Structure 1
């Protein structure tokens, strides 16, 4: 039974610890991303005197924060062997919704909450169509990507929404203890989702669903509910990212979030997640997002053509996928 292999329950004396297949190699996967980060930081600090300055580090952390939050939401779906192509459009829709609600006079907390719930509602719809209507995740989220982007254009009339209340911009652009608010928020998200995946029964259910959904179902895992929940969480986190991006820009921009779905998937893959499910971690996805953000930041400082940066990120994705395939084949050969 797959779930018996995936889950080891503690006895009354706590002599056994929960373990999930895939966590054992998670350290290696995260470690690879961290090694790339160290090398990247070292090379850029030598190539540019401006890279390690306080101002640039604050700017990098703000760039990374939104990508990191969206990537972690995407990771939850990828772990169940799914895909969410709608997160970029959800970012745009929630950011535009928050801006419109603020212009209409709603208090900032209520406007932010409503916008994030819009993202969650889209995620629930994606999950229901995948889990209960049995539609392919790629098709469902591709269709939702187009529908949500269309809603953004309808809401904004293809125009930028501003000015927004001053307090809204402070959410993303102010600092606490000289550390940007966005960085604090991202660290909290990483910690919470990392705990969810590693230390809770639901986290084990996610890995079990991605490993073998049918065997997990026969073992008692509520697979459809798990799928709906991970899509809902992906939508919620994309909603959080959209609100934070609108706050950072201090405007509701109709093109906001375009292409972010590919960046989120790239961050997950570079961070060690497998598109075949059940492999990956919140820290790895965040590290992958930081790698791509650092490449873009360093490239801008060095005046590197942005087209070359896209090529570099594409090569990283190919290398990460190739490494995952090689690792899977080696593991299969060693298995009895």
Structure 2
């Protein structure tokens, strides 16, 4: 058999041009970044030969620094939940800038239905509603939050699908609306003191558990269901998807609803973890979620990407964040560096697109 075999329409397939799966490249980049921070710990004079991921002081039962590992995965878990929805939106050819402010608005609304009546034997000083809203079953605030997310997502999707407003503009407008809702809900006052059952949702390592379960679920959904096939088809070529019988408008609404519900669920976990909700929650989360997806190989032009890649992208993002703290980089430098990373991720995506086009 020749090295180049003929395909449909006389096209050829050259096995020598077949590259590694994109997820392998991201995993390799993750290992490289870890090694770089390990080297910086050894060579920077003020680091005193500290190790980034390994337990050099014998404080743990394993060779790894368990505390740092937990910090890394906890840092990315909640934004990672948002990135699972953002991944689906971008694969479908859209973008969602409203997920960060949606977290703040949903957290305020959810926490107001998750409050306990007594705090240290005294009436709840942060009560939003009357007696009827105290000590509700945990399912109530969860359903309220998910319904709010579905409502916001339905508006986003309907504006994009039926009025053909560019996704950037539609979700940017919703960005401001959600931030306004968060500030209006209690006139800027935080909402605190949830019930024990609600607090348990985000306690300990539960954010990581939720992130892992949702990642597995949506990996299977995107890979093995019609929903996933239609999402990729719309992102690859919307006109062809419409001609093939896919209800593109309805599917876009569904994609944005799922993404917003995931952002609302992230708000539930975040407010449960912090035991409070504040109007400023979710700041920059939309950008970080997009960055995780793009670093993970999701194409901003649509039609390409995977949940596995996004999870790996989240881990890369978390390692970089933790690494900056580890080498004692000032907070304002960290923001500058994160901005540069987001720009670099987009440039890398464009380079991948151009390289793919030249191969074809």
Same fold (TM over 0.5): yes
Deviation at 1:186, TM superposition (A): 0.8
Equivalent residue number for residue 98 of structure 2: 86
Equivalent residue number for residue 257 of structure 1: 282
Deviation at 1:43, TM superposition (A): 3.6
Equivalent residue number for residue 59 of structure 1: 71
Aligned partners of 1:128 and 1:228 also within 8 Å: yes
Q: Does 1:235 align with 2:260?
A: yes
> Could you tell me which of 248, 263, 271 is aligned with 2:273?
248
Any idea what SS the aligned residue of 1:256 has? coil
Any idea what SS the aligned residue of 1:102 has? coil
Deviation at 1:44, TM superposition (A): 3.5
Q: Does 1:214 align with 2:239?
A: yes
- Alignment CA distance shift 1:326-1:55 (3 Å): closer
Cα distance in 1 between the residues matched to 2:258 and 2:80: 14
- Alignment CA distance shift 1:210-1:298 (3 Å): same
Deviation at 1:54, TM superposition (A): 1.7
Equivalent residue number for residue 36 of structure 1: 29
Q: What TM-score does the superposition give when structure 1 sets the normalisation length?
A: 0.86
- Say how many residue pairs are matched: 307
Question: Aligned runs of 1:120-131 on 2, under 5 Å?
Answer: 120-131=150-161
Q: Which moved more, 1:153-162 or 1:201-210?
A: 153-162
Equivalent residue number for residue 18 of structure 1: none
Equivalent residue number for residue 119 of structure 2: none
Q: Does 1:99 align with 2:111?
A: yes
Equivalent residue number for residue 302 of structure 2: 277
Deviation at 1:219, TM superposition (A): 1.1
Aligned partners of 1:156 and 1:254 also within 8 Å: no
> Could you tell me which of 82, 106, 109 is aligned with 1:70?
82
Equivalent residue number for residue 325 of structure 2: 300
> Could you tell me which of 343, 347, 354 is aligned with 1:322?
347
Cα distance in 1 between the residues matched to 2:356 and 2:71: 41
- Alignment CA distance shift 1:282-1:26 (3 Å): farther
Q: Does 1:185 align with 2:210?
A: yes
- Alignment CA distance shift 1:293-1:330 (3 Å): closer
Aligned partners of 1:268 and 1:284 also within 8 Å: yes
Aligned partners of 2:84 and 2:307 also within 8 Å: yes
Aligned partners of 1:295 and 1:309 also within 8 Å: no
Aligned partners of 1:26 and 1:281 also within 8 Å: no
- Runs of 4+ aligned structure 1 residues displaced above 4 Å come to none
Unaligned runs of 5+ in 2: 1-17, 42-49, 54-63, 116-132
Cα distance in 2 between the residues matched to 1:151 and 1:213: 33
- Alignment CA distance shift 1:217-1:27 (3 Å): farther
Aligned partners of 1:270 and 1:320 also within 8 Å: yes
Deviation at 1:145, TM superposition (A): 0.8
Aligned partners of 2:37 and 2:52 also within 8 Å: no
Cα distance in 1 between the residues matched to 2:323 and 2:275: 25
The structure that has the greater radius of gyration is: 2
> Could you tell me which of 182, 187, 198 is aligned with 1:168?
198
Cα distance in 2 between the residues matched to 1:136 and 1:265: 17
- Alignment CA distance shift 1:334-1:55 (3 Å): closer
- Alignment CA distance shift 1:249-1:27 (3 Å): farther
Aligned partners of 1:206 and 1:226 also within 8 Å: yes
Deviation at 1:45, TM superposition (A): 4.7
Cα distance in 1 between the residues matched to 2:76 and 2:302: 24
- Deviation track 1:104-129 (CA, whole Å, cap 9, x = no partner) reads 31222211221122111100111011
- Alignment CA distance shift 1:33-1:281 (3 Å): same
Cα distance in 2 between the residues matched to 1:155 and 1:192: 33
Unaligned runs of 5+ in 1: 1-24, 175-179
